[in-house]
Amino acid sequence: MNYISISLYRKVIEHALTEGLKRADFNDLPIPIDKLHEVQAVPADHFFELHEKLDRTLGPGFSVRVGQQMKIEDYGVLGLSWRTCSKAGEIFERSERYFKLLSDTYVFKVEKDQDISKIHLFREGYRRGVELSNEATFSATVVVLRAMTETNIAPVGVSFKHDPPQDMKSYHLAFQCPILFNQLHNYISYKSLDLETRTAKADTNINKFLVERVEEKTKGIEVSTSKIVLDVQILIKDALPSGIPNIGRVSEYIGMSSRTLTRRLSESGVSFRDLIKKTQEQISKDLLLNSSRNVGEIAFETGFSDQSAFNRAFRRWTGQSPIEFRKTN
């Protein structure tokens, strides 16, 4: 059975209350409102049934309206990983990787082209609630990208496989671009150049690194190798939810050539690969001891392609499985 995070389920209910429903209108829920805090997830069909109920009660467009209210923190571990993306498009790439590794409730696929990139959502609308949830998902991506980049980045097209609603007002307000229905695929598309937009957090960090490089050149004061090692570890940590970063990407952000960065790291007695392994080990141990993340989520956050690969690496580091380590420390 597929499950949906309780935070998303609760968000839908909370927004329905702001649109005029009463708590009593949800007395028929499988899980009472006052018990929602006791669970972490609900069966996906309960979530889809809720969408259907609210579409009937509050009219066309509730799905996209609730999508517009989504916040990054509503997406749990995945949302936390978005906060460390360096570019807007990485949000979709991390979503694709997350759901491939941890869930089969969504299947994202990023189709890049020179001018326009499409983010496909392969989730068949076997019931109306799935179609509505797909609408909410695409609506939420619009506000998430704007929040991450602090720009007015906007899609250039949205496509749905299902029939159009009777009232399109909420859809036009949410997407502000052409919206097609009865199409072959569900996707939202952006200009490829827009998806290269730096996130606000990346702008701050990268600008700091570049200022350091300028000071090195103009003032002749070389930043210590230990400081560079720390900077590289920060960038590796931020990049890991997208998979193992390469040195070219990190050196670009830190304002050095790959050859120069390799030399500077060598002066501290470490290699780029050493830092990746060290960072992975540090993050995984910290999350096992100081968070409630499950092993799959920790594997995602530390850049592994699957949970079994993470388990094998962790046993090499510690002689224990992640579960054993958590229980004995």
**What pLDDT digit, counting tens, does each position of 151-196 carry?**
999 999 999 999 999 999 999 999 999 999 999 999 999 999 999 9
pTM of the shown model: 0.87
Among 26-30, 201-205, 312-316, name the one with the lowest average pLDDT. 201-205
pLDDT band at 204 (very low <50, low <70, confident <90, very high): confident
| Of 72, 74, 100, 96, nearest in space to 84 by CA | 72
Locate all alpha helices (DSSP H) within 75-152, ordered by sequence. Answer: 76-82, 90-102, 128-149
**pLDDT averaged over every residue in the chain:** 91
Q: Is the pLDDT of residue 209 over 80?
A: no
List CB contacts of 280: < 8 A, sequence separation 6 or more.
240, 302, 303, 313
| Of 215, 318, 294, 287, nearest in space to 3 by CA | 294
Partnered with residue 108 across adjacent β-strands are 121
Tell me the Cα Rg of the chain. Answer: 22
Domains of the chain listed by start with CATH number: 3-196 (3.90.1520.10), 200-270 (no CATH), 275-328 (1.10.10.60)
pLDDT in tens, 276-288: 999 999 999 999 9
User: 105, exposed or middle or buried, with CB in 10 Å at 0-12, 13-18, 19+?
Assistant: middle
| Of 290, 309, 292, 291, nearest in space to 300 by CA | 309
If you ran DSSP here, which 8-state letter would residue 194 be given?
Answer: G
Q: What angle do CA 199, 204, 205 make, to 5 degrees?
A: 100
Residue 69: Cβ within 10 Å count? 16
In this structure, what token pair is assigned to residue 213? 């490089």
If you ran DSSP here, which 8-state letter would residue 224 be given?
Answer: P
Overall average pLDDT of the 88-108 stretch: 85
Q: Can you tell me which residue has the tokens 């839908």?
A: 12
Q: Is the pLDDT of residue 254 over 60?
A: yes
- What is the percentage of the chain residues whose pLDDT exceeds 90? 67
Q: pLDDT at position 323, please?
A: 94
State the Cα torsion 293-295-300-305 to the nearest 10°.
180
Overall average pLDDT of the 256-278 stretch: 92
Q: pLDDT at position 227, please?
A: 84
Helix, strand or coil, per DSSP, at residue 112:
coil
Q: Is the pLDDT of residue 308 over 80?
A: yes
Rounded distance between C-alpha atoms, residue 62 and residue 71, angstroms: 17
Buried/exposed code over 22-52 (b: 16+ C-beta within 10 A; e: otherwise): eeeebeebeeeeeebeeeebbebbbbbbbbb
Q: Is the pLDDT of residue 224 over 90?
A: no
